[in-house]
Structure formats: structure tokens, C-alpha cells
Structure 1
Amino acid sequence: MNEWGTPDWRDAAAYGDVKRWRFDRWRWEFYRRRDDLRAYFDAHVEETLQRRQRYAGKDGFTVAHLRPNEPGFTLDAALEAGAQFGYSSLPNPRIGAQPMHLIKTHQHDGVRYDLGGVPFPLAPHEEPLTFDLDRPIEPQLAHAREVLLSAQYALHGKPLQKRRRPKKWLGYLRALDAREAGASWAEITGAFYAEKLLDRHKDPSGGYCAPPPQAARDMWLAADALRFKF
């Protein structure tokens, strides 16, 4: 792991059992690799720690004792962070395995309401979703489908229906980490081609050859886009 808690990009196994990652974990992995999110966290972590010192050890403040290097620690809620990154309480981007309720894209309080406005807890097999009526419906429905299928996979250990698997996402994360580690396009292309993450390219003679170095650059560009709009 480097300073930001990202594994050695050359070893896919170092990323863990990504087949069990839910949609929100994937999103968090891309977003925590953003320079602006990292900078925001580091700029505000000290003020959060100072503010919480007065509550440490007191009843009802169960997270006041957490340190920044522990999963579950978050910055105090900030409207600007929510608008910029989509997280009402921003966790430490150095930690990938955060509690799921902190990295949900649809923030909620773990309850739902009946028609009379009476709250009652969600069952283990239920997943809450919210929709923004000021935004187009179709993209939200597509996103909701991914969230539900991912949650279903995590709950049952397998999808109950055929789903689109994020086959390229691990390669994308590794491409981001490779460039951050200083790897060249040629080095990344060679490593990924050996693992068959990049396909052969057709050469002018009509045959096939290894992809050019810009193949890794193209993969990185696709990965970079996901960091800002997953």
C-alpha cells in the first residue's frame, strides 16, 4: 500500500475480492483517487479532530473517539463536500474498506416511512433508493438497477439474474494507480497486454500485434472519467 492506501498496481490480487464489491464500494474506490477529494479531506481533518475532542468519551458520541486512520472516521458534515463529492460525511480517502453506510451514493438514515409518516426499520433484504425529480429519470433508473443488483449480489453471494459485470473497472483502478506510481504508458501497456487486459491491435500488414503504448493512455482516460462521474 502506498500513502493513499492503494495497492501495487502490478498485482491484481492485492486489490482483494472485488467480485463482492457493491456498486457504492466501486464508486468510492474511484472517487477516493481524486486529488481534489484528497486535498479537501486533509484541509479539514484537523478542525474536525479539534471539534470532537470536547465529546470524546461522552455518552451518545460513539464516533468521537475515532482517529483519521480508522475506518468509520469522517469529516463533520459539510454542504460543499456533499455537493462536490456526493458524500454528506466524507471518509478518509486513504481507506478503501469503509463502512457501507458511509459510502452510499444515496444517503439515508436506515429507515423508511409509511404513508402516514411513521418510520420503521429496513429489513435486511431491503435497499432504500431516492430519486431526484429535477433530474432526468432514465439515468437514475439505470443507476438504481446497478445499485440493486450489486446489493443483491452482496446479500446472496451471486446474482439472482444475469447482470452486467464491471469487467473493466479493476483494470481502470490499476491504470490510475500505475500512473500515480510513475509507470510509463509503455510499461502499463506491456503488463496489461500480458494479462490480456488489452487486446491485440491490427497492424498495417493485416496481421495482429501488441497494442501501442497509447492503449494504456486510453484506458487511463476512461478511468479518469469515472473518478468524476461514476
Structure 2
Amino acid sequence: MNDWGIPDWTDPLAYGDTEGWHLWRWRWEFYRRREDLRKDYMENLEQAYRNDLWLRDKLKDTKIIFGQVKELGDRSFKVPAPGCDEKYGYPALPHPAYGDHPIVDICPIRDRDEDVGLVSGEWFDDGIGTIGIQPNEMAIVFKLDKPLSAQLKAAKEELSRQQRVRSSEGRTVRKTRPSPADRLAYLRILDARADMPEAKWREFTDALFAHGLVDRRKDPAGGYCAPPPQAGRDRWESANDLRFDF
């Protein structure tokens, strides 16, 4: 492990029992490899620690129960860095040097793949409360006194149309998340690049190929050959995308 708790990328077993990882653990593993997240955590850590001590002292005579005081830099200390909710999707940042935080600490503010039944616009009033609609979201109203199948079909068609519009405008439409096996490969590729940041793509691709992280290619002359330099670059770019949109 290096200082950020990143395993040896050449050994898949060094990553532990990844088959048992929750989806939120996978998300956190990609996000904690972001330099901006690490910087936000470290730059705001001391102030967050002072704020925590101040609040404890201010409320010491109330009935509010606090947990044990944590040491500065304790692995379980979370930092509410400014804007981290919008930037990373967390109300407060767990320590980025650790991956195995309690699930509740690495739960994103909203697991968007589980949003159901959410009219385009900035706000949607469901009659009970007002829901903020993000630029990459769309709300759909379903009528309970109408046949469901026709509504679902219309909703799917409209969602597909909106995604085509986003694509035509050059905005990202996220593809299906990779399988757990591919996720581990992508983590290893990110860690390989961090381990050899100055390597040319030829050297980087050869290293990935040696460890089974890029596939051989068919040789026009017959048989197979090592992958071209852009193969490693393309794999790294796909892995890097997951650090910003998992």
C-alpha cells in the first residue's frame, strides 16, 4: 500500500475480496483516487477538526450525545469540504486513504440509478414538497388512474429522446456500469498510471499487456501481436471517466 492506501496494481489479490464489495464501495474506490478530492480533504481537515471541537464545547451542557473525540487525521473523521456535495456527491468526505469505510459513510447523497418515477425544469412539486431537478435529470409524472403500460412506454420514449438531445449537444450520456471484474481491471489501470505517470503510452500499454489488462490484437500478417500504444491510452481514459461519473 502507498500513502493513499492504494494496493500494488500488479497483484489483483492485493485489492482484497472485491466480489463482496457493495456498489457504493466501488464508487468510493474510484472517487478516492481523484487528486481534487484528496486535496479538498487535506486542505479542509484542520478547520473541520477545530469546528468539531468548538461544537462539542458549545453543546456540552445539552442532551446532545456526541461520539468519542477523534484525533486529527483519524481514519473515521469526515470533512464537510465546501461544495463536496455537488462536486463529489457526498455530504462530507471520508478519509481518502481508506477504502473500507462503513457503508453509511460512503453512501452518495443520491444513488441516481435507484431514482424512480421522478417534468423537466429546475423544480418539481409533487404536491407534498418541492424536489430540485439537476441539469442531468428529468422528472416524469405518472397517473395512477390510467393504464401503466402505455405510460411506461411513453416515458421510455421521452427519456430516450432526451438522451439523444444530450448526445447531439455533446453532453455525456453514461453507459451501463462495467461488471465487477471490469471495475477491478479499471482500478488497477488507474493505479498503474499513477505508479508510472511519466511513461509513454507504448511503455504503459506494454506494462498493462504483461499483466493481462489489455488484450492482444490480430496481426494482419497472421496470428496475434501486442496491442498498439493507443490501447493502453483508451483503457486508461475509460477508467478515468469512472472517477467522475460512476
TM-score (norm 2): 0.65
Query: Which has the higher mean CA deviation after the structures are superposed, 28-37 or 173-182?
Result: 173-182
How far is 1:42 from its partner?
A: 1.0
Residues 74, 63 of structure 1: alpha-carbon distance in 2 compared, 3 angstrom cutoff: farther
5 Å-filtered alignment, 1:132-171, equals 133=118, 134=133, 135-136=137-138, 165-171=179-185
* Matched-pair contact (CA < 8 Å) for 1:63–1:73: no
The answer to whether structure 1 residue 209 and structure 2 residue 225 are counterparts is yes
Could you tell me which of 73, 86, 95 is aligned with 2:89?
86
How far is 1:175 from its partner?
A: 1.1
Aligned residue for 2:10? 10
Residues 197, 87 of structure 1: alpha-carbon distance in 2 compared, 3 angstrom cutoff: same
Q: Determine the C-alpha separation between the residues in 2 that align with 1:203 and 1:41.
A: 48
* Matched-pair contact (CA < 8 Å) for 2:85–2:109: no
* Matched-pair contact (CA < 8 Å) for 1:10–1:191: no
How far is 1:190 from its partner?
A: 3.4
Q: Determine the C-alpha separation between the residues in 1 that align with 2:195 and 2:208.
A: 15
Aligned residue for 2:163? none
The structure with the largest alpha-carbon Rg is 2
Q: Determine the C-alpha separation between the residues in 2 that align with 1:61 and 1:88.
A: 18
Query: Which has the higher mean CA deviation after the structures are superposed, 202-211 or 84-93?
Result: 202-211
Q: Determine the C-alpha separation between the residues in 2 that align with 1:50 and 1:91.
A: 17
Deviations 1:25-46 (A, max 9, x none): 0000000011111111111001
Q: Determine the C-alpha separation between the residues in 1 that align with 2:45 and 2:97.
A: 13
Which SS does the other structure have where 1:227 is aligned? coil
Deviations 1:8-60 (A, max 9, x none): 1111111111011111000000000111111111110010111222428x661
The answer to whether structure 1 residue 27 and structure 2 residue 27 are counterparts is yes
Q: Determine the C-alpha separation between the residues in 2 that align with 1:132 and 1:89.
A: 28
Q: Determine the C-alpha separation between the residues in 2 that align with 1:30 and 1:168.
A: 13
Which SS does the other structure have where 1:19 is aligned? helix
**What letter matches 1:199 in structure 2?**
D
Aligned residue for 1:196? 212
Query: Which has the higher mean CA deviation after the structures are superposed, 58-67 or 44-53?
Result: 58-67
Q: CA RMSD in A?
A: 2.8
Q: Determine the C-alpha separation between the residues in 2 that align with 1:197 and 1:76.
A: 36
Aligned residue for 2:164? none
* Matched-pair contact (CA < 8 Å) for 1:88–1:107: no
**What letter matches 1:197 in structure 2?**
L
Query: Which has the higher mean CA deviation after the structures are superposed, 203-212 or 187-196?
Result: 187-196
Moved segments of 4+, more than 6 Å: none
Question: Alignment length, in residue pairs?
Answer: 184
5 Å-filtered alignment, 1:91-102, equals 91-102=94-105
Aligned residue for 1:146? none
What's the % identity of the aligned pairs? 43
Deviations 1:45-83 (A, max 9, x none): 010111222428x6611154254242x3101375x1101
Could you tell me which of 51, 73, 76 is aligned with 1:68?
73
Residues 28, 4 of structure 1: alpha-carbon distance in 2 compared, 3 angstrom cutoff: same
Question: Unaligned 5+ residue runs, structure 2?
Answer: 119-132, 140-155, 157-177
TM-score (norm 1): 0.70
Deviations 1:133-176 (A, max 9, x none): 331477xxxxxxxxxxxxxxxxxxxxxxxxx7322111111111
Which SS does the other structure have where 2:37 is aligned? helix
Residues 220, 63 of structure 1: alpha-carbon distance in 2 compared, 3 angstrom cutoff: farther
Aligned residue for 1:228? 244
